[in-house]
Amino acid sequence: MDAERQVANTLVFNDPNPLPLVMGDQLSEFTLAYETWGELNKDRSNAVLLFTGLSASSHARSHPGNTAPGWWEGMIGSGSGLDTDRWFVICVNHLGGCFGSTGPSSLRPNSNRRYGPDFPPLTIRDLAHAANRMIRSLGIDRLHGVLGASQGGMLSLEYAACFPDQVDRLISISATGRTGPQSIAYRYVQRQVILNDPAYQGGWYYDTDQKPVGSMAVARQIGNITYRSRQEWEDRFGRGRTGSGYSYGPDFQVESYLHHMGHKLAHQFDANSFLLLTKAMDLFSLGYGFNSYREGVARIKSPSLIMGVGTDMLFPVDEQEAVYLALKNEGNDTQFRQLNANSGHDSFLVEVEYFGTAIQDFLRR
């Protein structure tokens, strides 16, 4: 799925009002791209908001306006985990992203100049507030549910904490309640790869011949290691070779896989969005701006389902369990489910049936 197909025929929410940002700046106006599946019912009580991971667009499922398969194609549809016979599913491209929402690659208002690296610092909370504006614009006062995995799982938690009276159910998958140092370390080195690339040009590469695609590919490859698991790769690649012979390039099969994965994303994703949104993940804590982490957790009032995978190395399952225990400690009606699959952090994209059943059951409660 190339970048053009990810922004084809999305819906667009334009907010002409300023959005104050947690770190002190503001956006004078902003746009969010989103897509929907199913029908909003008469009393507007059946909406489910889906947040994406770091690099996905709002195109979670194919639809008549864009028939390319979405990133969670099997999860959304009639009778699926996100059952479109019952729910009006809305997927939004992150504020700060590059698939139709306002981000560093966008033009500044009333200008032909891009934000570029001058885009103001964003936090997960800012992304949640922007999404809430879009939800309110649809006349939706309460969401039947909010959910997401990875960065989307952080956003779901934050959304439920920021808008406790507007959320009826919360599902957070393979995320964390506060980002830890090893996870920060991975994203730090990803960013250094990009920042050191002369083609990055201090972030002003847009209207030049050179783009930082080489470094974006390597940054993605670092991510790819953390998205899957050693166990999966032992089974899938082992010590298999490509047959190309001794080289520093793709010689082992696992190297060929990384080469492919890295270069695929490098041509789709804006480097400045990558820097901005990975940093937002590093800053994330449910306690951010509150007096304590506990206070952030205690703000969540809706029943919650917290899910994780035993082989996740980016947000290890004990972090999801810690969120569950913190919620339980505050009296939240919470459940924890752990899947022991070997596809690691990305399991939500692989084990769609498992997650679909759990999501369906929880939304129908």
Catalytic residues: 150, 312, 345
Q: How far is CA 231 from the centre of its chain?
A: 24
**HSE of 33 in the Cβ direction (CA atoms, 13 Å)?**
22
Task: Decide: is 225 part of the binding site for a second copy (CB under 8 A).
Answer: yes
Sheet strands (E) in 40-149: 47-51, 76-77, 82-83, 88-92, 145-149
Task: Decide: is 8 part of the binding site for a second copy (CB under 8 A).
Answer: no
Out of 222, 325, 350, 352, point to the residue binding a second copy (CB under 8 A): 222
Out of 114, 125, 169, 178, point to the residue binding a second copy (CB under 8 A): 178
Task: Decide: is 211 part of the binding site for a second copy (CB under 8 A).
Answer: no
Cβ 118 to a second copy shortest distance, Å: 13
Out of 36, 132, 179, 347, point to the residue binding a second copy (CB under 8 A): 179
Task: Decide: is 23 part of the binding site for a second copy (CB under 8 A).
Answer: yes
Q: Which two tokens stand for residue 20?
A: 């104050």
Phi, psi of 31 (to 5 degrees): -125, 140
Q: Which two tokens stand for residue 262?
A: 């890295």
Out of 86, 279, 301, 345, point to the residue binding a second copy (CB under 8 A): 279
Nearer to a second copy by Cβ, of 23 and 107: the residue is 23
Segment interacting with a second copy (CB under 8 A) among 78-86, 90-98, 276-284, 327-335: 276-284
Out of 101, 273, 285, 302, point to the residue binding a second copy (CB under 8 A): 285
Q: Are strands 145-149 and 47-51 parallel, antiparallel or unpaired?
A: parallel
CA–CA gap between residue 299 and residue 158 (Å, rounded): 10
**HSE of 41 in the Cβ direction (CA atoms, 13 Å)?**
12
Is 49:146 a contact under the CB 8 Å cutoff?
A: yes
Cβ 129 to a second copy shortest distance, Å: 18
Which residue from 337, 358, 299 is spatially nearest to 125, judged by alpha carbons? 299
Nearer to a second copy by Cβ, of 46 and 229: the residue is 229
Q: Write each residue from 232 to 261 as x if it is in contact with a second copy (CB under 8 A), else as -, in one continuous string.
A: -xx-xxxx------x-x--xxxxx--x---
Nearer to a second copy by Cβ, of 91 and 193: the residue is 193
Task: Decide: is 185 part of the binding site for a second copy (CB under 8 A).
Answer: yes
Helical segments of the chain, H only: 3-7, 124-137, 151-162, 181-195, 213-227, 230-236, 253-266, 271-283, 293-298, 317-329, 347-350, 352-364
Total binding residues toward a second copy, as defined by CB under 8 A: 50
**HSE of 119 in the Cβ direction (CA atoms, 13 Å)?**
31
Q: Which two tokens stand for residue 65?
A: 């306006």
Task: Decide: is 326 part of the binding site for a second copy (CB under 8 A).
Answer: no
Out of 40, 195, 325, 352, point to the residue binding a second copy (CB under 8 A): 195
Q: Can you give the binding site for a second copy, defined by CB under 8 A?
A: 23, 121, 178-182, 184-186, 188-189, 191-193, 195-198, 214-215, 217-218, 221-222, 224-225, 229-230, 233-234, 236-239, 246, 248, 251-255, 258, 275, 279, 282-283, 285, 313, 316
